[in-house]
Amino acid sequence: MPLVTPLDPNHDAETKKLSDFYNETLGFCPNSVLTMQRRPEISKAFINLNKAVMANHGRVTSALKRMIAWVSSNATGCRYCQAHAIRAAERYGAEQEQLDNIWEYKTHPAFSDAERAALDFSLAASMVPNMVDEKIKEELYKYWDEGEIVEMLGVISLFGYLNRWNDSMGTSIEDGAVESGEQYLGKHGWEKGKHV
């Protein structure tokens, strides 16, 4: 049972209009946003931040951004966000081999060295205490420019918020996210946990 019950998608007209973004991303409006709309200024600000962070300005693709989100969510243990991130990666064109082997990104040949540097950055930045160090920086700068690094950290930070929000709320997970979680993450023990 969630800490706070999500409201009907039609509760706040402005949030509903902004949340159409999620129909493309996930195929549904997340229950996290439906909970945030109890304070519409939070739901609207969050959706606009999400749109800004996920906009593409360079070589950090939509699929890579969602895989960065998955690594961050995996590091923090938020099963809700793990399933959402892998679903969005799938919908935004991540290669099947990457989706099937996201757990092994450090060694699997489906991932390039540039992608590994980005995903290692996500892992290090999501740890408590933070593990971003000179080695992480050196690897990032081999493949990515400063604007792209800002985009990546935007994703990591956005999911830091979402991981805390959804794990603390015990947000109920939607059927579509469950399907993606079971398909790509289930073989490694993913389950809904508290997000029923």
Give domain status of residue 69, yes or no: yes
In which residue are the tokens 């966000």 written? 81
Share of the chain above pLDDT 90, in %: 94
Residue 117's contacts (CB-CB under 8 Å, 6 or more residues apart) are 139, 140, 142, 143, 144
Q: Tell me the pLDDT tens digit for each residue of 65-115.
A: 999 999 999 999 999 999 999 999 999 999 999 999 999 999 999 999 999
What's the total number of domains in the chain? Answer: 1
When computed from its CA atoms, the radius of gyration of the chain, rounded to whole angstroms, is 16
- The amino acid at residue 170 is G
Supply the range of the domain harboring residue 87: 13-188
Q: Tell me the pLDDT tens digit for each residue of 115-124.
A: 999 999 999 9
Residue 91 sits in a domain of what CATH number? Answer: 1.20.1290.10
Give domain status of residue 105, yes or no: yes
Give domain status of residue 66, yes or no: yes
